[in-house]
A = this chain, B = another copy of it.
Amino acid sequence: MSSPQYARIKVALRQRIETGALCPGDRVPSENQLVGEFGVSRMTARRALLELAEEGLLERTQGLGTFVADRRPVSSITQIRNIAEEIHQRGHCHACRVLALEAVLADATLAARMGLAEGEPLFHSVLVHLENDQALQYESRHVVAQLAPAYLEQDLARVTPSAYLSAVAPLTEADQTVEAVLPSPAQAEALDIGPDQPCLKITRRTFSHRGVVSLAELVHPGDRYRLGSHIDS
């Protein structure tokens, strides 16, 4: 039950970019070169390149080749999971901290929004992600207590969604929406912004085959995100 080969190639290429072995503008091995290097068929190598291009990490031009995308001006909003992870990928993890403002067992007053039975016990944590002492994200996360019993014992400042999710089920998916909001007083204070500073709020419902696992609200001031660029027909 090993991971697919195209995933292996994606990981390898991502590493070369993160470690600096491949820099923005650099040419990435061509499909045929990857065939030789990884011993796969061209279509498999191609899939790895296509998916990385879809994420915005690579840029491909017919006839020319595949290149590491210019330092993405902004993150791709379809990929956002956790500012901490994002920052880590940008390479200044050293200046990144996470503050856990709150972590308690709450009752499911928001059961309806999560599609749960009323009264289902939930863990609620509020995190603030900082870089160079500047707050970048306010994160409010509700997790179904039954599915992640050790949630509160973890170091919430370090745990990423994938960490506690992988403990729940092999198969997870997420539903995300964005909207523009004004920060609540608590959010404005935690982010050190004025009450008039508009923010992007991303609401993410994560679920496995057992149902909803968590509901997270990510609020960021001032960030700007790249969107996909489909132009069909």
Interface residues of A (CB under 8 A from B): 3, 7, 10-11, 55, 73-74, 77-81, 162, 172-182, 196, 198-200, 202, 206, 221-233
**Chain B residues within an 8 Å CB radius of A206:** 231
On whether the beta carbons of A177 and B74 are closer than 8 Å, the reply is yes
How far apart sit A58 and B173, CA to CA, in the bound complex (Å)?
A: 15
How far apart sit A226 and B233, CA to CA, in the bound complex (Å)?
A: 22
On whether the beta carbons of A180 and B196 are closer than 8 Å, the reply is no
Q: List 23 A-B contacts (CB under 8 A).
A: A7-B233, A74-B177, A78-B228, A78-B229, A78-B230, A79-B228, A81-B231, A162-B231, A173-B231, A175-B229, A176-B226, A177-B227, A178-B178, A179-B222, A180-B180, A180-B181, A180-B199, A180-B200, A182-B196, A196-B196, A198-B198, A200-B200, A206-B231
On whether the beta carbons of A11 and B78 are closer than 8 Å, the reply is no
In the complex, given contacts A77-B178, A78-B229, what are 12 additional A-B residue pairs having Cβ atoms less than 8 angstroms apart? A55-B230, A79-B228, A79-B230, A175-B226, A177-B226, A177-B227, A178-B224, A179-B225, A180-B180, A180-B198, A180-B200, A206-B231
